[in-house]
């Protein structure tokens, strides 16, 4: 947990360094709640950073890094599963409705995902691991509110149905946990705060 926190802090420093000299950028922190159609992976809380660029009156873009981890036990058998996902994605958004401080957007999202699954025997003390690499395509619907309490802060909310196509799986022959090697439909609900650098 401590190592993961250090990585997140270092990533934030890098993002701030890159964007602090570029006009029209915002950098923020988002919390993502995932709901999956996969029967073995229901909910995964995640945390990530994003960089946003308002490059025209009607369009903007997001670059997002998200990392999340969850552990659960199967009530019918004697094993537990630890699931970790890292996602790097880019969103292109069209502004549907623009007001003075609020706007609603619809976009297209492309993301590269890496999933690590570790299955451990609770009684028999065995462990097996495999990794999925996938490409995600989503349609984010988002809302943004700028200048919260007359400050540089802005609030972001998004709802993103995403189809994940598995490109490659490694180590899957060493485990009997086969449920997550297939394509799946995800819904990401994201709530975030950003700091406007412009």
Task: Tell me what pLDDT residue 22 has.
Answer: 47
Domains with residue ranges and CATH for the chain: 2-183+191-196 (2.40.160.20)
What are the backbone dihedrals phi and psi of residue 173, each rounded to the nearest 5 degrees, phi first? -70, -15
User: Residue 64 is encoded by which pair of tokens?
Assistant: 């997002």
From first CA to last CA, the distance across the chain in angstroms is 33
Task: Tell me what pLDDT residue 8 has.
Answer: 60
- Rounded CA-CA distance 67/55 in Å is 27
| DSSP string of 115-175, one letter each residue | EEEEEEETTT--EEEEEEEEEEEE--EEEEEESGGGSSEEEEEEEEEEEEEEEEEESGGG-
Q: How many residues does the chain have?
A: 198
> Is residue 49 within 8 Å of residue 62, measured between CB atoms?
no
- Rounded CA-CA distance 198/196 in Å is 6
**Predicted confidence pLDDT, tens digits, the chain (198 residues):** 555 555 665 555 555 544 444 445 666 666 666 665 554 444 455 555 566 666 677 888 777 777 777 777 666 667 777 878 888 888 888 989 888 788 899 999 999 888 888 877 766 677 778 888 899 999 989 888 877 777 777 788 888 888 888 888 777 554 444 445 678 787 877 777 777 665
């Amino acid at each position: 947990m401590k190592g993961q926190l250090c990585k997140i802090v270092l990533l934030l420093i890098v993002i701030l360094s890159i964007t602090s000299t570029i006009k029209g950028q915002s950098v923020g922190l988002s919390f993502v709640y995932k709901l999956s159609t996969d029967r073995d992976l229901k909910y995964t809380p995640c945390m990530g950073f994003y960089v946003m660029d308002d490059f025209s009156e009607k369009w903007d873009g997001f670059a997002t890094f998200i990392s999340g981890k969850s552990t659960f036990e199967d009530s019918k058998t004697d094993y537990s599963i630890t699931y970790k996902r890292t996602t790097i994605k880019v969103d292109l958004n069209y502004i549907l409705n623009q007001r003075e401080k609020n706007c609603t957007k619809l976009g297209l999202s492309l993301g590269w995902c890496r999933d690590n699954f570790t299955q451990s025997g609770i009684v028999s003390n065995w462990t097996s691991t495999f990794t999925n690499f996938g490409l995600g395509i989503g349609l984010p619907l988002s809302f943004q509110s700028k200048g919260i309490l007359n400050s540089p802060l802005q609030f972001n909310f998004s709802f993103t149905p995403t189809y994940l196509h598995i490109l490659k799986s490694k180590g899957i022959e060493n485990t009997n946990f086969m449920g997550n090697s297939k394509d799946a439909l995800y819904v990401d609900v994201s709530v975030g705060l950003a700091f406007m650098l412009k």
